[in-house]
Amino acid sequence: MSLMKSIVCPRPGDLEIREVARPVRAENEVRVRIRRIGICGTDFHIFEGSHPYLAYPRIMGHELAGEIIEAPAGSRFSSGDPVIINPYISCGTCRACKTGKPNCCSNIAVLGVHRDGGMCEEVAVPDGNLLPADGLSLDACATVEFLAIGAHAVRRGQIGPQDRLLVVGAGPIGLGVALFARLAGAEVYIQDLDEARLKQACSIALGCQPLVVGAGADREIATLTGGNGFDAVFDATGNLSSIQAGFARVAHGGRYVLVSVVNETVSFSDPEFHKREMSLIGSRNATAADFDSVIDAHKAGHIPLDRIITNRTDFDQVTEDLPRWSRDKTGLIKAMIAID
């Protein structure tokens, strides 16, 4: 049996380099050598033990760029082709899949969450879950998935030039929302507890305005919106109190888009909700159209990759670096693992 190296999270707070069996390719699957792995908030949550949809042990990693090792007959891919991996493995038969929403498939298996992911030397995935790199660098390919989540949320919120919106949470997902909302022509404000991270996000998503969480924030919001609130609010914090506070910041007739998820019950005032005729929208993962939007944005030069990828590591060092970054995220936007 052929073995490969992998990064395994056997339990919260622990990472190990282990040798595991190489994947056996099914008839419709492609073997892919992993070359880049983006470390995401999901990976930190898994390591910290706060992810709601996970069983241990788990090989993490779902922001992936790779190269084809072996493809089935008739595939559009050949050995050596660089590819972007869509980590959302859908069933193709449930109601969501049949209505063009495989991102919220009833039986979805996300690499690195519901099944072992890409912090390893190679994976086997369905041919339909691969996109050609189409001239993008390996680094850029590994950012497509997390940015697609932001692009999907903006599309779910039906954002356009007429909108003034608030993105709460200046991490990578919130940054993706802000970038694509700006590309849609909206007036965008970003709010975060961490003033340095907020400033960093606004320097990447040019044209966005910062709002620091704290005393006086609601008065500031009331002043800049004329007391009306925002046409759309996006929560990307993964924090229950933040999500619940966001309802009050949505304008009458506005939209509230929940991009993050918490393993708790969200409550809100029904009279206020109905008075505003607010639309409450869940946004989960991304679709092929969103991946295409991000690829197009990369090609057009709209994604400042050199400022988004702030930290780098390699396969042998990640068991030390990821726990350290989990404790201290100062200056961190996106960490990237390179396998050469």
Q: What is the average per-residue pLDDT within 188-217?
A: 92
Point out which residues pair with 66 in neighbouring strands: 34, 83
Does 215 have pLDDT greater than 80? no
- Cα–Cα separations (whole angstroms), residue 254 to 17, 88, 161: 48, 30, 15
Does 213 have pLDDT greater than 90? no
Does 216 have pLDDT greater than 90? no
| Residue 166 φ/ψ, nearest 5 degrees | -120, 130
* Chain center to CA of 286: 9
Does 214 have pLDDT greater than 90? no
Low-confidence winner among 41-55, 93-107, 230-244, 310-324 (lowest mean pLDDT):
41-55
pLDDT for position 217:
85
Indicate the burial class of 131 (C-beta count within 10 angstroms; 0-12, 13-18, 19 or more): middle
DSSP at 208 = -
- Cβ atoms of 123 and 34 within 8 Å: the answer is yes
Residue 234 belongs to what H/E stretch? Answer: strand 230-235
The tens digit of pLDDT for each residue in 127-145 reads: 999 999 999 999 999 999 9
Domains, the chain, with CATH or none: 3-143+303-338 (3.90.180.10), 150-282 (3.40.50.720)
pLDDT for position 53:
76
Indicate the burial class of 252 (C-beta count within 10 angstroms; 0-12, 13-18, 19 or more): exposed
Q: What is the average per-residue pLDDT within 215-239?
A: 92
Token representation of residue 56:
């241990």
Three-state SS at 40: coil
Q: What is the average per-residue pLDDT within 85-91?
A: 97
C-alpha–C-alpha distance, residues 187 and 16, integer Å? 44
pLDDT for position 54:
84
Does 262 have pLDDT greater than 90? no
Where residue 218 falls among pLDDT bands split at 50, 70, 90? confident
pLDDT for position 212:
82
Point out which residues pair with 88 in neighbouring strands: 110
pLDDT for position 118:
97
Q: What is the average per-residue pLDDT within 29-45?
A: 95
Of 99, 97, 100, the residue nearest 108 (C-alpha): 97
Does 82 have pLDDT greater than 80? yes
- Cβ atoms of 38 and 63 within 8 Å: the answer is yes
Where residue 340 falls among pLDDT bands split at 50, 70, 90? confident
What is the rounded average pLDDT for all residues in the chain?
Answer: 95
Q: Which residue has the tokens 């969480």?
A: 213
Q: What is the average per-residue pLDDT within 188-214?
A: 93
- Cα–Cα separations (whole angstroms), residue 245 to 41, 228, 271: 22, 16, 15
Where residue 165 falls among pLDDT bands split at 50, 70, 90? very high
